[in-house]
């Protein structure tokens, strides 16, 4: 359930990397994947990145993203737990330079959902939580529907590859249909 543009079941951690949606429109979901450092799961690094508290010297990879200011609306961890960084009525900084169906500046009207993962298969717990989240979003924001769910690789194909080939679109669709 969504109350005041926040997912009731999510742990709330506010990110400063958000601002006002210019038109108030919410009509698209962009699915991403992330692991920090690459290949590691379960740590605090993703939350630290999205709240500008990442220790850039804690891992060699972090130097390549030093100073990055990004966020997502939600993070779904490997165990299915969910963290919300930005209320849905605000613009999170997740899609970057992107394009979908002739439109640009997708952050202006999309909800960004990060799945904790990499090239390995995502967990059943993540798919089940994602299906519940999508159902809640579609009920609360009627402009979002099955045609308005995309992946980062679809909206920035020359720049991004996430969530990648291990993301099982068919399994998610079965969960949403059932």
Taking the C-alpha atoms of residue 107 and residue 152, their distance in angstroms, rounded to an integer, is 12
Residue pair 7/74 in contact (Cβ under 8 Å)? The answer is yes
**What percent of the chain is modeled with pLDDT above 70?**
100
Q: CB of 15 within 8 A of CB of 48?
A: no
Q: Which domains does the chain have, with CATH numbers?
A: 2-177 (3.40.80.10)
Distance separating alpha carbons of residues 106 and 124, to the nearest angstrom: 28
Clarify whether 114 is annotated catalytic.
yes
Tokens at residue 111, please?
Answer: 């909800």
What are the φ and ψ backbone dihedral angles of 110, each rounded to 5 degrees?
-115, 160
Per-residue confidence (pLDDT) for residue 145, from 0 to 100: 87
Catalytically annotated residue among 114, 116, 148, 153: 114
Query: For position 178, what pLDDT does the model report?
Result: 84
Query: What's the average model confidence in pLDDT over 156-173?
Result: 96
> Among 163, 159, 134, which Cα is nearest to 28's?
134
Confidence check: pLDDT of 112 > 90: yes
pTM value surpassing 0.95: yes
- Give 103's strand partners: 100
Average pLDDT of the chain? 97
């Amino acid at each position: 359930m969504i109350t005041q543009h926040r997912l009731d079941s999510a742990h709330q951690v506010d990110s400063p990397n958000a601002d006002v949606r210019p038109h108030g429109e919410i009509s698209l979901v962009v699915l991403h994947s992330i692991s920090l450092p690459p290949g590691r799961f379960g740590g605090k690094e993703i939350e630290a990145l999205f709240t500008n508290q990442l220790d850039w010297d804690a891992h060699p990879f972090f130097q390549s993203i030093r100073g990055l200011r990004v966020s997502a609306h939600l993070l779904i961890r490997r165990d299915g737990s969910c963290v919300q960084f930005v209320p849905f009525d605000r613009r999170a900084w997740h899609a970057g330079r992107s394009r979908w169906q002739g439109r640009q500046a997708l952050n202006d009207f999309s909800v960004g959902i990060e799945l904790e993962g990499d090239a390995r298969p995502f967990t059943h717990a993540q798919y089940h939580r994602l299906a519940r989240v999508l159902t809640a979003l579609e009920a609360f924001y009627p402009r979002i529907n099955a045609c308005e769910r995309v992946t980062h690789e679809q909206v920035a194909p020359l720049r991004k590859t996430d969530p990648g080939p291990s993301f099982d679109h068919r399994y998610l669709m079965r969960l949403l249909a059932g």
